[in-house]
Amino acid sequence: MDFPRHDTDTARAAHQALREHAQQTGERHLAALFEDDAQRFERLSRSGCGLLADISKQRLTTETLSLLSELARARGLQSWIECLFKGEDVNWTEQRPAMHWRLRDTKDRAPDVHAQLARMERMVDRILRGQWRGCEGDAITDVVNVGVGGSDLGPLMASFALSEQRPPRGHRPRVHFVSSMDGSQVAPLLQELNPATTLIVVSSKSFTTVDTLTNAATARGWLEREMPGRNGAVLRCHFVGISAQPERMSRWGIHEDNQLQFWEWVGGRYSLWSAIGLPIALTIGMQGFRELLAGAHDMDRHFQDTPWQDNLPVMMGLVDVWNLNFLNITARAVLPYDGRLKHLPSYVEQLEMESNGKSVTRAGENVTHHTCPVIWGEVGPNAQHAFYQLLHQGTQPVACEFIVAARHDRLNADGSEFKQLEDQHQLTLANCLAQSRLLALGEHALPADLELPAFKRYRGNQPSTTLMLDELSPRHLGSLLALYEHKVFVQAVLWGINPFDQWGVEMGKVIATDMIQVLESGQGGDNLDASSRALAERARRLNQD
Ligand code: F6P
């Protein structure tokens, strides 16, 4: 496939125009930008798929967006979007397409995708109806997802976010997540569980990830110890595997009937739409899971069909490029004002930083500008009592991203309105809006006659985007997550990098294996640097005492 060229004279000219524009507009305070234009919100906010994205608190104007669009045009964004959805090998270092979007295309679903979804549905149905039995004949009460990275963060985040929804029928099991390789999650969890009613889901695209296989082996050892003499029944009744590598699942001992598959063309961090989403389906039911897929599909359509000026992923991608490359804002805080989105920051961290934390272009050259910003986050109201001090009065600019649901309906058991929780939602909304206002406007948001000593002052001008969901339903969450995915793709096109590989994490796995030998036997340490050798030696000594 002959992909559009990345760096052309037009692209360089667009870049230069943006640099010049940044010197004027980028220096203006947000308070002045709001004062200049009474229509600023109308001009700089867009909605679609049950979401509103307000970028009017970003340090830019409509002219900035036009210039950024020029750059995107020069970088061939339109052709890249077409390549993505045609299934071309956009992941060029691994020579494969990135077709996570295909998992949510209900009309055009390929037979392989459809078959796995149907298989997953049967599994979910049996578990929820109590028909999936442990080897002692008990129904399943607890499901443990063992995975890491994309095989953990997506399902964890979405299951947690949607856990107020319940499957329409059946009895929902408790769903737990185990990821950390040191066993500090799996050990206390297993102590609390009843082996006879526990189902372990081993989720790993590659089925080689040591973190996951070690935790899975610990769980297997526990089940076999607790239910001795059951031969293969423990594996048959208590283990499900989800992977793109069926032979490896079989070799590990997962029974063929308990295997769910997905494909190499689904990146790990893009995989929650596949069978990797099993914990989500167990939490909200299969109908809810299909709604999640439908919401993501809505955004796929929006991304392909909507003109750029109204296109949410394009607009958000352009904003991030502006902040990083032209305003030199190298950090972004993801701030959900909703406890249900507690795991969203970690999910976005992997999605964006593993995708775009790259520095080599498709031509094999080093990039000449920054790529992904450093991203971190926390539930907004909690972060207000932790790191907002730095946002308000620290020395560095940080682009903030507020995510909030306009409505959050909660009822008492008898179906009546739960007034106190309604009030708590209003309080949270108020905090979200007040914080983004104060961060943007600084003292301009405060009474004019307020005189503050230097240490109490708020300089403002901290840019932010507010993403307001109509409500946090499976459909809207699906749209929100697909928005993030496509935004990452837009950025990658503008930066000329591959967002679908992750070579930077591979070597760590290899050299850790060598280090085990040093720790266990003391052999091989001579080749290490002085620091690593001394640390390994100290740990070895303390372990021998
Ligand atoms: O180490 C990074 C990574 O490869 C991620 O991209 C991936 O989501 C995670 O490990 C888990 O990989 P797997 O699903 O193959 O176990």
Query: pLDDT (tens digit, 9 = 90+) per residue, 478-500?
Result: 999 999 999 999 999 999 999 99
Q: Rounded mean pLDDT of the chain?
A: 95
Residue 502 Cα, ligand 1 centroid: separation in angstroms? 9
One-letter amino acid for residue 321 of the chain = V
Tally of residues, the chain = 545
From CA 461, how far away is CA 26, in angstroms rounded? Answer: 10
pLDDT of residue 364: 92
Per-residue pLDDT reduced to its tens digit, 339-389:
999 999 999 999 999 999 999 998 999 999 999 999 999 999 999 999 999
Other CB atoms within 10 A of residue 259 CB: 20
The whole-number pLDDT of residue 24 equals 87
Query: Residue 268 CA: which ligand 1 atom is closest?
Result: 8
CB 294 within 8 A of CB 106: yes
Query: DSSP letter at 106?
Result: S
Nearest to 91 by CA among 257, 269, 303: 269
pLDDT of 168 > 90? The answer is no
Q: Which of 71, 92, 64 is nearest to 497 (CA)?
A: 92
If you average pLDDT over residues 397-416, what whole number do you get?
90
Q: Write the residue with the smallest CA distance to atom 1 of ligand 1.
A: 505
d(CA 183, CA 185): 5
Q: Report CA(201)–ligand 1 centroid distance (Å).
A: 16
Atom of ligand 1 nearest to the CA of 505: 1
What ligand 1 atom has the least distance to the C-alpha of 276? 14
Two tokens, residue 36: 């200049």
Q: How far apart are CA 73 and CA 11, in angstroms?
A: 8
Pocket test for ligand 1, best of 205, 249, 266 (most atoms within 8 A of CB): 205
Q: Is the pTM of this model over 0.85?
A: yes
Which residue among 209, 350, 358 has the greatest number of ligand 1 atoms within 8 angstroms of its CB, and so is best to mutate? 209
Q: In what order do the strands lie in the sheet with 399-407?
A: 45-48, 51-54, 464-471, 399-407, 331-336, 374-377
Instruction: For residue 441, give both structure tokens.
Output: 């406007």
The runs of H, that is alpha helices, within 244-387 are 246-252, 278-305, 312-321, 344-349, 355-356, 380-383
**How many whole angstroms separate alpha carbon 375 and alpha carbon 438?**
21
DSSP state of 402: E
Q: Which two tokens stand for residue 536?
A: 């390994």
Distance 353 CA to ligand 1 centre (A): 13
- Whether the predicted pLDDT of 1 surpasses 60: no
- Beta carbons of 130 and 171 less than 8 angstroms apart: yes
The answer to whether residues 494 and 505 touch, using CB atoms and an 8 Å cutoff, is: no
Q: What percent of the chain has pLDDT over 90?
A: 86
- Predicted confidence at residue 492, as pLDDT, reads 98
pLDDT, tens digit, 9 for 90 and up, residues 289-337: 999 999 999 999 999 999 999 999 999 999 999 999 999 999 999 999 9
Q: How far is CA 215 from CA 99, 178, 360, in A?
A: 29, 8, 35
* Alpha carbon 339 to its chain's center: 16
Report residue 4's pLDDT band, with 50, 70 and 90 as the boundaries.
low
pLDDT tens digits for range 511-544: 888 889 899 988 888 889 999 999 999 999 999 8
pLDDT digits (tens, 9 = 90+) for 128-154: 999 999 999 999 999 999 999 999 999
Which of 273, 351, 505 has most ligand 1 atoms within 8 Å of CB, for mutation? 505
Task: Work out which ligand 1 atom sits closest to the CA atom of 271.
Answer: 8
In Å, how far from its chain's centre is CA 185?
A: 21
Instruction: State the distance from the centre of ligand 1 to the C-alpha of 494, rounded, in angstroms.
Output: 25
Residue 73 CB contacts under 8 Å (≥ 6 apart), including other chains: 10, 14
CA of 509 from ligand 1 middle (Å) equals: 11
Q: Are 202 and 241 in contact (CB under 8 A)?
A: yes
CA–CA distance, 491 with 192 (Å, rounded to integer): 44
Identify the three-state secondary structure at position 133.
strand
Q: Are 65 and 72 in contact (CB under 8 A)?
A: no
Which percentage of the chain shows pLDDT scores above 70? 99
Residue nearest to atom 10 of ligand 1 (CA): 149
**How is residue 363 annotated by DSSP?**
T
Residue 476 in this model has a pLDDT that exceeds 90: yes
User: Which protein residue's CA is at the shortest distance from atom 5 of ligand 1?
Assistant: 149
Encoded amino acid at 454, one letter: A
State which of 148, 243, 353 you would mutate to test the pocket of ligand 1, scoring each by most atoms of that ligand within 8 A of its C-beta. Answer: 148
Nearest CA to ligand 1 atom 8: 150
* Structure tokens, 539: 């740990």
Which residue numbers are catalytic? 354, 385, 509
Which pLDDT tens digit goes with each residue over 233-275?
A: 999 999 999 999 999 999 999 999 999 999 999 999 999 999 9
Contact yes or no for 403/333 (Cβ under 8 A)? no
CB 155 within 8 A of CB 274: no
Residue whose CA lies nearest to ligand 1 atom number 6: 268
Coil, helix or strand at residue 469: strand
Following CA atoms 110, 116, 119, 125 in sequence, which dihedral angle do they give, to the nearest 10 degrees? -100
Ligand 1 atom, smallest distance to 243 CA: 14
C-alpha 513 to ligand 1 mean position (Å): 17
* Strands of 239-243's sheet in order across: 174-178, 142-146, 198-203, 239-243, 259-261
Amino acid at 134: G
- HEC-encoded secondary structure of 173-230: CEEEEECCCCCCCHHHHHHHCCHHHEEEEEECCCCCCHHHHHHHHHHHHHHHHHCCCC
Checking DSSP bridges between strand 464-471 and strand 399-407, what pairing results, if any?
A: parallel
Q: How many CA atoms lie within 13 A of 182 on its CB side?
A: 1
Report CA(241)–ligand 1 centroid distance (Å): 15
Q: What ligand 1 atom has the least distance to the C-alpha of 502?
A: 6
Task: Please determine, for residue 108, whether its predicted confidence score (pLDDT) is greater than 70.
Answer: no
Confidence tier at 3 by pLDDT (50, 70, 90): low
pLDDT in tens, 195-234: 999 999 999 999 999 999 999 999 999 999 999 988 789 9
CA of 264 to the centre of ligand 1 (A): 12
Ligand 1: centre distance to CA 108 (Å): 28
Residues with CB under 6 A from ligand 1: 148-151, 204-206, 209, 212, 268-269, 354, 502, 505
Stated as kind and residue range, the H or E segment containing 491 is helix 474-495
